[in-house]
């Protein structure tokens, strides 16, 4: 339609021009001219029909595509003519856009991606293991993050508001899987899911079929497995015959019956599943512990699909009632009746990654946004200089009657073109950047796998950001330059106009410096915060410790055999060359998990049940001396306690202070009141407070019962080995020792405590490193902007400086003058930037440790760094100014 | 005068609108009429005329319709629209203001 109209108009115009020519010829003919002469006469003052048509088209403003295409051709020709400007602008913008796209890609992958299932908006998370991390079996909060299998089946059978519910193992770990027929080892992430999993999600198999709810009723009866597309491609080379083959998982042999669709990577962001088996096959797939029967083994995340027409609020009130009825029916103590479920929209799946990275990613997004703004200001500056150079051309065109709109559009086309090129370069940078980021994070997060493929959303983000930045940095110069006081420009007030332009550029530089203040302050705060965390005393020396995580229980160790195994490994470790002590604990150091329960005490003045709460860590003999935590009273557990499996424990000072103020806790008893695992221990010692989980940990009351008479069953065990030399060097010897003592025992991982700490701090390190990088980038761009403006100003003032020098100003005086001007700009930027930085600092509050957002030292150092950077940037043009030869300069003018 | 840039901006529009006030004309007719009434001071070439005509038409001040000359030749005739008339009144007023102002300046000088 559009094109037709244009074509018609062109034909019309052709005819009209022809008709003009014909009429003129016949007029001249009627005056008695020869046909030849008449035509020649008619053609006079006629530059040619094409030019006329061209001009008419020019006039049809807003005529659309055709003229836009011409603008683009014109703009690209103009850009090709100044490759230096184009390269700097595109590179600057490419860096800015690259940083933005990279961070946005991460946000997209972690926070925005919707599960590729049918009607994801109907999905609801009944439990959100993400918010607490997984496997924290504490009952400190009333809101349940995980459910027991019995609770799930009960809810599934009673619910009225969901068309279906399914449960899935909340923390699937990579395990060894063997293909039974080929004896080939695969490393795969296994997830136990209830039979409703695939039907509730509403996905269909890419091959074979999925198991159903009916195949998940009788424990041990359905040894079937569904594998992921990626696993199928990776380990079976996409062979269709994979369906029907068998896998040995744990102690069972499972037949592969189906392959999940390509885009379905599981319901957990950042942790793709490879193999799904029915939950009732737990005893075969992950043997050693019964997950299905106990009501207190919380390990499942549960999702449901709402019945049509039922809102999440309605479902919430219904499920609250159902949960309450269920708990009452089980005759649990009153305290446990308060436990409830909080429903969350489930369209994006579940993720603890989201909780850990949401805030850092949003803060980083803000920072890269600032970097992009600084880049924009830089390009706007360049554009101003460039438009300025074309000042005459624009004036002439406006005098010729060219519409202002057309000129603005032309300048804008140029800037949007630069923005698009920058966007493309940025996409390339982002591709590299996201891979580097994911690699950085995967080094610290076991089994991290993010779906990083760029989707439409990332593309739209980059496109929109490019367009917006193009308009942002093109608009001011365009408006300013075409601000049509034609009379004034004819009058030739060149100097006044360019002074105004210089003022505009100075404003931009001040804005850039202000933005850099915000960026660099943020980066400095985060860096110092990380350093504070790292240098925060944990209460013990963790630089010579090796952590060896094993799982003896799932391979069948229990009771006396387990104690014997512990003692054997400890003896072996102590005999290793370079060993300076060994012990064990249920949680290692700086791991994620922790335990805590309600307790009751004898001899304590604290009686309020609500206050009687303590964390606990199960430890082996010589735990405190191996770590280097001083015992302030009494003694620690020793080998004879281990051999006799005494029910002794040690408490930390926070515990002693809280529950036995001014009293001697030794000899008193602690009872852990968790109903199914009630145990009582006698206090034999008090240890100094230690931060074994995180340097940021608060000091909380904690007691340390013995591993040799634990609370409940201990599944994970970590041996701690203190070495005289580098602990990493002992890793292979420790592995060999375990292999020789217990060939079947699963070794989870062997790491130094320092390595584990740095993994623990991955988000802090990520945000500190990246914000440092972005701060530097922003500062660098601002410095370039300043350099450009000062160079320009000095070029304009060559004559003036020449006069000054001719009148006796010394070179240092000239340099001083330029630097003074720079300092005024910097001062302006800092004065504007500091309040902004203080405001922005409040957003960082949650990320900071041991430092206030308004830390005066940080602000002062930041201001100093920026001032120095700016003086260096201005120093080059200032030096050039001081070397102006007065004679030359005066002659020039 | 051949180049539109020598005219004060907007003058050509006023000339065209005013010329069409008497009735529809085609391009050559408009150019000839302007040349005649100004006694040859303004000679408008097609390079200035057509862009101006199309611009005015695009703003809705003129309406162009194909018609036939007495010789049987086809030509596009331009008519002043209602909006065009309003515009013309306005332009006339503007011009008179400028004209009076200029005259006052010139009178002062002598």
Residue A510 confidence class, pLDDT cut points 50, 70, 90: very high
Taking all residues of chain A, what is their mean pLDDT, rounded to a whole number? 84
- Bin A737: left if φ > 0, else alpha if -120 < ψ < 50, else beta: alpha
What count of Cα atoms within 13 Å lies in the side-chain half-sphere of residue A828?
14
Would residue A362 count as lying in a domain?
Answer: yes
* Residue pLDDT, tens place only, A717-745: 999 999 998 998 899 999 999 989 888 78
Give yes or no: residues A413 and A468 share one domain: yes
Any B CB within 8 A of A16 CB: yes
- Select from A520, A514, A470 the least CA-distant residue to A93: A470
The reported pLDDT for the residue numbered A18 is 81
Would residue A698 count as lying in a domain?
Answer: yes
Identify all chain A residues contacting B101, using CB atoms and an 8 Å cutoff: none
How large is the average pLDDT for residues A793-812?
83
Would you state the structure tokens that stand for residue A67, as one six-digit string? 């003229």
Give yes or no: residues A391 and A423 share one domain: yes
**Which of the listed residues A347, A365, A398 is the one where a domain comes to its end?**
A347
How large is the average pLDDT for residues A577-601?
86
For residue B28, give how far its alpha carbon lies from the nearest alpha carbon of chain A (Å): 6
Give yes or no: residues A331 and A404 share one domain: no
* Residue pLDDT, tens place only, B26-66: 888 898 898 888 888 888 877 778 888 888 888 888 988 88
Residue B110 confidence class, pLDDT cut points 50, 70, 90: low
Among A43-47, A442-446, A470-474, A778-782, the range scoring the smallest mean pLDDT is A43-47
The reported pLDDT for the residue numbered A534 is 84
Would residue A85 count as lying in a domain?
Answer: no
How large is the average pLDDT for residues A177-198?
82
CATH 1.10.10.10 fits B4-109, yes or no: yes
- Is pLDDT of A555 > 80? no
Among A254-258, A439-443, A537-541, A558-562, the range scoring the smallest mean pLDDT is A439-443
Q: Three-state SS string across A780-846, please?
A: HHHHHHHHHHHHHHHHHCHHHHHHHHHCCCCHHHHHHHHHHHHHHHHHHHHHHHHHHHHHHHHHHHH
- Is pLDDT of A286 > 50? yes
The reported pLDDT for the residue numbered B58 is 81
Would residue A752 count as lying in a domain?
Answer: no
Q: What is the dihedral of CA A853, A854, A859, A861, to 10 degrees?
A: -70
The domains of chain B are located at 4-109
For residue A5, give how far its alpha carbon lies from the nearest alpha carbon of chain B (Å): 14
**Which of the listed residues A716, A744, A772 is the one where a domain comes to its end?**
A744
Residue of B nearest to A50 (CA): B47
Residue A2 confidence class, pLDDT cut points 50, 70, 90: very low
Cα gap A862→A54, rounded to integer Å: 57
Look at A874 and A484; give whichever has higher pLDDT.
Answer: A874
The reported pLDDT for the residue numbered A495 is 47
Would residue A108 count as lying in a domain?
Answer: no
- Is pLDDT of A626 > 90? yes
Residue of A nearest to B13 (CA): A401
Residue A810 confidence class, pLDDT cut points 50, 70, 90: confident
**How many CB atoms are closer than 10 A to CB A463?**
14
Give yes or no: residues A699 and A795 share one domain: no
- Is pLDDT of B97 > 60? yes
- Are the beta carbons of A59 and B55 separated by less than 8 Å? yes
Give yes or no: residues A587 and A707 share one domain: yes
Look at A424 and A182; give whichever has higher pLDDT.
Answer: A424
Residue from the list B2, B71, B74 with its beta carbon closest to the beta carbon of A26? B71
- Is pLDDT of B7 > 60? no
What is the side-by-side order of every strand in the sheet holding B25-26?
B25-26, B74-80, B62-68
Cα gap A586→A618, rounded to integer Å: 5
Q: Three-state SS string across A225-252, please?
A: EEECHHHHHHHHCCCHHHCCCEEEECCE
How large is the average pLDDT for residues A582-607?
85
Look at A254 and A114; give whichever has higher pLDDT.
Answer: A254
Residue A59 confidence class, pLDDT cut points 50, 70, 90: low
Give yes or no: residues A572 and A620 share one domain: yes
Predicted ipTM of the assembly: 0.84
Q: From residue B109, how far is each of A45, A491, B8, B106 by CA, in Å? A: 38, 20, 22, 5
**Which of the listed residues A330, A347, A364 is the one where a domain comes to its end?**
A347
Residue B2 confidence class, pLDDT cut points 50, 70, 90: very low
The reported pLDDT for the residue numbered A811 is 85
Would residue A99 count as lying in a domain?
Answer: no
Give yes or no: residues A576 and A526 share one domain: no
How large is the average pLDDT for residues A858-866?
92
Cα gap A110→A358, rounded to integer Å: 8
Beta-strand pair B74-80/B62-68: antiparallel
Give yes or no: residues A368 and A500 share one domain: yes
Three-state DSSP class for A447? Answer: coil
* Residue pLDDT, tens place only, A741-756: 888 787 878 899 998 8
Residue from the list A22, A46, A60 with its beta carbon closest to the beta carbon of B54? A60
Residue A165 confidence class, pLDDT cut points 50, 70, 90: very high
The reported pLDDT for the residue numbered A671 is 92
How large is the average pLDDT for residues A389-400?
68
Among A137-141, A272-276, A376-380, A517-521, the range scoring the smallest mean pLDDT is A137-141
Percentage with pLDDT > 90 across chain A:
31
Q: How many domains does chain A have?
A: 4
- Is pLDDT of A118 > 90? no
Give yes or no: residues A146 and A272 share one domain: yes
Q: From residue A828, how far is each of A330, A520, A522, A604, A768 by CA, in Å? A: 69, 16, 19, 62, 28
Instruction: Indicate which of A401, A485, A489, A490 best probes the interface with B, i.e. most B CBs within 10 Å of its own CB.
Output: A401
**How many CB atoms are closer than 10 A to CB A862?**
27
- Is pLDDT of A339 > 90? no
- Is pLDDT of A181 > 70? no
Question: DSSP string spanning A522-565?
Answer: HHHHHHHHHHHHHHS--SS--TTEEEEEEE-GGGT--HHHHHHH
User: What's A109's DSSP letter?
Assistant: I
* Alpha-helix residue ranges (DSSP H) falling in A311-400: 312-329, 352-389, 391-399
For residue A45, give how far its alpha carbon lies from the nearest alpha carbon of chain B (Å): 6
- Is pLDDT of B69 > 90? no
pTM confidence score: 0.72
The reported pLDDT for the residue numbered A85 is 82
* Residue pLDDT, tens place only, A666-715: 999 999 887 777 899 999 999 999 988 888 788 889 999 999 998 887 77
Residue A891 confidence class, pLDDT cut points 50, 70, 90: low
Would residue A829 count as lying in a domain?
Answer: yes
Any B CB within 8 A of A59 CB: yes
- Is pLDDT of A334 > 50? yes
Beta-strand pair A224-227/A252-259: parallel
- Domain containing residue A17: 2-60
* Residue pLDDT, tens place only, A814-856: 888 888 888 999 999 999 999 999 998 888 888 888 888 889 9
Task: Look at the alpha carbons of A234, A239, A240, A244 in this order and tell me if their dihedral is positive or negative.
Answer: negative
Cα gap A204→A201, rounded to integer Å: 9
Identify all chain B residues contacting A58, using CB atoms and an 8 Å cutoff: 51
Would you state the structure tokens that stand for residue A883, as one six-digit string? 């070397």
Q: Three-state SS string across A632-701, please?
A: EEECCCCHHHHHHCCCEEEEEHHHHHHHCCCCCCCCCEEEECCHHHCEEEEEEEEECCCCCCCCCCCCCC
For residue A386, give how far its alpha carbon lies from the nearest alpha carbon of chain B (Å): 26
Cα gap A638→B12, rounded to integer Å: 107
Contact A126, A343 (CB under 8 A): yes
Any A CB within 8 A of B9 CB: yes
Any A CB within 8 A of B59 CB: no
Among A289-298, A389-398, A456-465, A706-715, the range scoring the smallest mean pLDDT is A389-398
């Amino acid at each position: 339609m559009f094109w037709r109209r244009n074509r018609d108009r062109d034909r019309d115009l052709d005819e009209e021009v022809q008709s003009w020519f014909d009429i003129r010829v016949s007029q001249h003919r009627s005056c008695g001219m020869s046909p030849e002469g008449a035509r020649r006469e008619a053609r006079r003052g006629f530059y040619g029909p094409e030019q006329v048509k061209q001009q008419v088209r020019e006039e049809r403003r807003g005529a659309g595509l055709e003229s836009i295409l011409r603008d683009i051709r014109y703009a690209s020709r103009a850009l090709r003519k100044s490759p230096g400007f184009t390269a700097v602008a595109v590179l600057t913008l490419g860096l800015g856009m690259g940083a933005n796209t990279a961070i946005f890609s991460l946000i997209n992958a972690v926070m925005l991606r919707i599960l590729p299932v049918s009607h994801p908006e109907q999905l609801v998370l009944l439990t959100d293991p993400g918010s607490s991390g997984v496997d924290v079996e504490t009952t400190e909060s009333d809101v349940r993050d995980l459910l027991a299998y019995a609770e799930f089946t009960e809810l599934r059978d009673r619910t009225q508001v969901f068309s279906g519910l399914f449960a899935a193992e909340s923390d699937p770990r990579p395990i060894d899987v063997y293909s039974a027929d080929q004896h080939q080892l695969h490393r795969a992430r296994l997830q136990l899911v209830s039979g409703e999993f695939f039907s509730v999600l509403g996905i269909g198999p890419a091959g074979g079929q999925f198991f159903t709810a009916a195949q998940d009723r009788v424990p041990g009866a359905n040894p079937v497995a569904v594998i992921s597309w990626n696993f199928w491609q990776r380990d079976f080379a996409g062979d269709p015959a994979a369906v029907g083959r068998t896998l040995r998982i744990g102690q069972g042999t499972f037949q592969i019956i189906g392959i999940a669709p390509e885009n379905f990577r599981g319901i957990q962001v950042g942790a793709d599943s490879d193999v799904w088996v029915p939950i009732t096959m737990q005893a075969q797939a992950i043997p050693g512990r019964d997950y299905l029967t106990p009501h207190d083994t919380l390990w499942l995340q549960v999702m449901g699909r709402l019945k049509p027409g039922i809102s999440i609020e309605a479902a919430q009130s219904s499920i609250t009632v159902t949960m309450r009825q269920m708990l009452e029916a089980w005759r649990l103590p009153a305290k446990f009746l308060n436990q409830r479920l909080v429903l969350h929209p489930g369209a994006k799946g579940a993720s603890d990654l989201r909780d850990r990275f949401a805030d850092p990613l949003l803060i980083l997004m803000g920072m890269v946004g600032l970097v992009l703004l600084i880049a924009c200001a830089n390009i706007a500056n360049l554009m101003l200089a460039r438009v300025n150079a074309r000042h005459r051309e624009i004036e002439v065109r406006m005098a010729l009657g060219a519409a202002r709109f057309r000129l603005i559009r032309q300048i804008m086309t140029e800037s949007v073109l630069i923005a698009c090129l920058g966007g493309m370069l940025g996409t390339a940078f982002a591709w590299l950047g996201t891979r580097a980021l994911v690699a950085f994070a995967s080094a610290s997060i076991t089994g991290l796998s993010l779906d990083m493929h760029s989707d439409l959303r990332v593309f739209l983000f980059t496109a929109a950001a490019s367009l917006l930045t193009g308009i942002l940095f093109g608009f001011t110069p365009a408006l300013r330059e075409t601000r049509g006081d034609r009379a004034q420009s004819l009058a030739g007030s060149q100097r006044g106009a360019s002074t105004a332009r210089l003022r505009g550029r100075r404003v931009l530089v001040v804005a850039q410096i202000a933005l850099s203040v915000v960026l660099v302050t943020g980066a400095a705060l985060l860096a110092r915060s990380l350093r504070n965390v790292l240098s925060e005393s944990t209460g013990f020396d963790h630089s010579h410790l090796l952590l060896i995580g094993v799982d003896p229980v799932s391979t069948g160790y229990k009771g006396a055999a387990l104690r014997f195994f512990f003692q054997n490994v400890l003896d072996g470790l102590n005999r290793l060359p370079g060993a300076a002590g060994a012990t064990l604990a249920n949680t290692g150091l700086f791991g994620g998990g922790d335990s805590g329960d309600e307790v009751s005490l004898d001899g304590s003045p604290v009686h309020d049940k609500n206050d009687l709460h303590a964390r606990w860590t199960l430890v082996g003999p010589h735990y405190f001396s191996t770590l280097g935590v001083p015992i302030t009273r009494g003694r620690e557990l020793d080998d004879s306690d281990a051999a006799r499996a005494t029910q002794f424990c040690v408490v930390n000072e926070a515990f002693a202070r809280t529950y036995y103020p001014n009293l001697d806790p030794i000899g008193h008893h602690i009872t852990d009141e968790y109903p199914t695992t009630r145990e009582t221990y006698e206090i034999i010692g008090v240890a100094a407070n230690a931060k074994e989980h995180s340097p940021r940990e608060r000091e909380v009351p904690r007691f340390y019962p013995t591993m040799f008479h634990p609370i409940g069953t201990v599944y994970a065990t970590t041996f701690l080995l203190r070495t005289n030399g580098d602990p990493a060097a002992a890793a292979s010897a420790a592995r060999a020792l375990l292999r020789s003592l217990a060939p079947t025992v699963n070794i989870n991982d062997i790491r130094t405590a320092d390595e584990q700490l740095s993994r623990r701090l991955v988000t802090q390190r990520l945000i500190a490193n990246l914000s440092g990088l972005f701060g530097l980038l922003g500062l660098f761009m601002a410095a370039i902007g300043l350099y450009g403006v000062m160079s320009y100003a000095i070029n304009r003032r060559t004559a003036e400086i020449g006069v000054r020098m001719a009148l006796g100003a010394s070179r240092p005086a000239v340099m001083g003058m330029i630097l003074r001007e720079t300092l005024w700009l910097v001062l302006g930027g800092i004065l504007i930037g500091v309040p902004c930085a203080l405001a922005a600092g409040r957003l960082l509050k949650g990320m900071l440790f041991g430092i206030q957002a308004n830390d005066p030292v940080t602000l002062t150092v930041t201001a100093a760094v920026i001032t120095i950077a700016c003086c260096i940037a201005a120093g080059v043009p200032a030096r050039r100014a001081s070397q102006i030869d007065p004679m030359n300069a005066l002659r020039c003018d | 005068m051949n180049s539109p840039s020598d005219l004060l901006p907007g003058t050509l529009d006023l000339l065209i609108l005013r010329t069409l006030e008497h009735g529809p004309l085609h391009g050559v007719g408009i150019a000839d009429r302007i040349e005649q009434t100004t006694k040859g001071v303004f000679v408008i070439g097609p390079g200035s005329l057509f862009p101006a005509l199309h611009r005015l038409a695009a703003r809705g001040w003129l309406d162009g319709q194909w018609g036939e000359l007495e010789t049987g030749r086809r030509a596009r005739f331009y008519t002043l629209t209602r909006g065009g008339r309003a515009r013309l009144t306005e332009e006339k007023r503007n011009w008179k203001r400028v004209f009076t102002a200029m005259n006052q300046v010139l009178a002062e000088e002598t």
